[in-house]
Amino acid sequence: MCFLYACESNQVFLKSEEPPKYIAETKVNIPSLKDASCEKPAPVKKEEPKVVIRPKTVVLNDIYFAFDRYDIRPKDAEILRKNLEWFRANPGKKVLIEGHCDERGTIEYNLALGQKRAEAAKAYLIKLGVNPEVLEIISYGKERPFDPHHNAKAWAKNRRAHFSVIEEK
């Protein structure tokens, strides 16, 4: 029977009750606890988030239309009057009026209807006193729906005139 002993000096001692016929001396490296990976990891630097100050968002509210119509309803006329405040505060800023439709009808029909909706919104704003030179119109028909669903609620959201400020380059 043999016993193997090791100590910190990396020496190996073999103790045998019987004298061995052949003894091989092997050095065993015992890792120190300093090399162990169980130490606490270095603290992670937390970077403070950078505060980005964005310019105030322009809010020109959309107006909505009844199915297959392009006339301005009383509640939408009120929205256009509220949008007028922005035009007065920003003279010379150009705005694109986009005419949109729901998915029902042909592409050609909806492009024409979207054009009539954009023209109706433009005419109403001009009647309120907005300079016609700052208003541009385009029709997207049914090509850019606000709500992609296929139901009455989605269709009502998609029949609209949308106002976008044209950024000068």
Counted domains in the chain? 2
Is 54 domain-assigned? no
Same domain, 71 and 8: no
Residue 22 shares a structural domain with residue 84: no
Contact between residue 58 and residue 165 where contact means Cβ atoms under 8 Å apart: yes
Domain region containing 132: 63-166
β-pair type (135-141, 94-100): parallel
Which residue positions in the chain have pLDDT lower than 50? Answer: 5, 52-55
Q: Which two tokens stand for residue 148?
A: 């992609």
pTM given for the model: 0.65
As a 3-state breakdown, the chain gives helix, strand, coil percent values, each rounded to 5, of 30, 20, 50
Both 15 and 82 in a single domain? no
Backbone angles phi, psi at 144, to 5 degrees: -130, 75
Helix (H, G, I), strand (E, B) or coil at 76: helix
Q: Is residue 58 part of a domain?
A: no
